[in-house]
Amino acid sequence: MTTPASVDTALTASEVARLQRRVRGTLMAGQVLAGLGMGSTLSLGALLAAEVSGTPALSGMAATMATLGAALAAVPLARLAGRAGRAPALATGATVAAVGGMLAIASAALGWFPLLLVALASIGVGTAVNLQSRFAAADLAADATRGRDLSLVVWATTIGAVSGPNLIGPGESLGSWLGLPPLSGAFVFTAIAQLSAAVLYVLLLRPDPLRVAARWDAQRASDAARASGSTAPPPVAAGDPAGVRLAFVAIALSHATMVAVMAMTPVHLTDHGASLVIVGFTISLHIAGMYALAPVFGVLSDRFGRWVTILIGQVLLVASLLSTALGSESEAWVVVGLILLGLGWSAATVAGSALLTESAPPARRTVLQGRSDLVMSGSGAAAGALSGVVLSLIGYSGLSFAALALVVVVVVLLMATPRAGARSGAPAAADTAAPRR
C-alpha cells in the first residue's frame, strides 16, 4: 500500500493519524531499548571510572561526561533532524551511543582513562536521543492530543530505567564468559540495545514524521487559504515567543531543581545512617515519579492547558522542597519529597515540551527544541555541581530552601505570561483540521 509521503496526492487526516500511531509505537520501543542499554552502564560508570583512573576522586566524572555528551549532541542532532528528518537524527545518536559502549569496553581493557571519558560522553548522546524522541512524538500529533502522545514516549522510559540496572548482574556474567575486564560486560548490552534502536528508527520511521508534518501543515494552510477565497500564498507562521520563553525556562529550571535535590539525597541519607536499601528504594520511587505518571500530566495538559499543567508541576515541586527541608531528619518525609520531586519534574517537562512544540515557528522548531535540550542538560549539570557545595555550606534543608528560588522564577514568569499568549493547548483552542485519535 502506498504510504502518505510517497506520492504527491493530498494527505488525509486518517492517513496522518495512522502514521502517528506507528511513529508513537516506534518511539516508545526505542525508548525501552535505550533505557535497557543505558540503565546499567551509567550505574557502573562511576565504578569503572574509579577503577580505570585508580582513584575514587574521579568517579564523579562518569555522570559529568554523560551529561556533557547529551548537552553537546542536542543542537547538532536537532539540526540534522531539520535537514534530513527524525529517523536519521535519532539513528545517528543511537549509533554514537553504541560506539560509546564499545569504547568503554576497550578503555577497561587498555586501562586508558581518557578513552573512558570519551566513551561515557558518547553514551550520553543516547540521552539526547531520548529527549528528542519526545519531540518526535509531537510532530504529527493533533493539538488536542499532543501532550498525551508526547507523554507516552516519556512514560516508556520507565521500563528501561527500572529494568536496566537489573542487567548489571547478567552483564558481569556475560563479560566473564566473553573474557572481558570486570565491570565492562554490561556495556555489551549498551552497544546491542542502541544499535537495535538505530535500526528500528531507520526501518520504521518511514515516511519520516517530521517531513510529513511539514507537508501536512503546508497542505492545511493552503486548504484554509482556498476556503477563505484568498489567492495569496499562506503567511509564514511567526510562532509565539512568549510561549517559547516560558517553555525554555520551565523545562530548564524544573530540571535543575530536580537534579540539585536528587543528587544530594543519597549523600544526606547515608550521612544520617540510612542503609543502601533505603537509598536505592528512595531513588527508585523518585524515578517512578518522574516517568510512570507522565501520561496523566499529558492528558491534563491537553485538557486544561500547558500553562495550568506547568503550574501544577511547580506546586508539586514546592511541596517536595518543603517536605525535604522541614522533614530532612525523617526518612519517610524525604521519600515523600523525592516522589513529589519526580512528579513535579514530569508535569513541567511534559507540558513545557508540548508548549515549545506548538509555540515555536515551524521553520525553527527543531533548532529551538535542540537548544531547549541543551539548556536543560546544562542546567542539570550546573545544578548537580553546585548542589554539593550548597549542601556542605547550609545542609540538606538549606539546599531545599535554596532550590525554592528556581521555582519562584518559573512561577513569576507564568504569572507574566498570559495563558492565551502561551497557547495553553486546551481543546477549545485545538485546530479542528488536525487528525483526531
Burial of 6 (0-12, 13-18, 19+ CB in 10 A): exposed
Burial of 31 (0-12, 13-18, 19+ CB in 10 A): buried
Lowest mean pLDDT among 199-208, 263-272, 322-331, 373-382: 263-272
Evaluate if residue 405 carries a pLDDT over 80: yes
Query: What's the rounded mean pLDDT across residues 15-26?
Result: 92
Q: Which three cell numbers stand for residue 93?
A: 545518536
DSSP code, position 381: H
Cα 206 to Cα 84: distance, rounded to the nearest angstrom: 12
The percentage of the chain sitting over the pLDDT mark of 90, rounded to a whole number, equals 49
Cα 130 to Cα 113: distance, rounded to the nearest angstrom: 27
Cα 85 to Cα 33: distance, rounded to the nearest angstrom: 21
Query: What's the rounded mean pLDDT across residues 82-86?
Result: 93
Closest listed residue to residue 259, CA positions, set 383, 392, 161, 385: 383
Pair 36, 161: CB distance under 8 Å? no
Burial 148-167 (b: 16+ CB within 10 A, else e): bbbbbbbbbbbbbbbebbeb
Lowest mean pLDDT among 77-91, 132-146, 208-222, 398-412: 208-222
Evaluate if residue 42 carries a pLDDT over 90: no
Q: What is the mean pLDDT of the chain?
A: 84
Structure confidence at residue 190 (pLDDT): 87
Question: Domain locations in the chain?
Answer: 13-227, 241-429
Taking each helix axis from N to C end, the angle separating 331-359 and 113-136, rounded to the nearest 10 degrees, works out to 60
Dihedral sign of CA atoms 139, 141, 146, 149 in order: negative
CATH tag for 241-429 (out of 3.20.20.70, 1.20.1250.20, 3.40.50.300, 3.40.50.2000): 1.20.1250.20
Q: Top-level CATH class of 13-227?
A: mainly alpha
Structure confidence at residue 166 (pLDDT): 66
Q: Do domains 13-227 and 241-429 have the same CATH topology?
A: yes
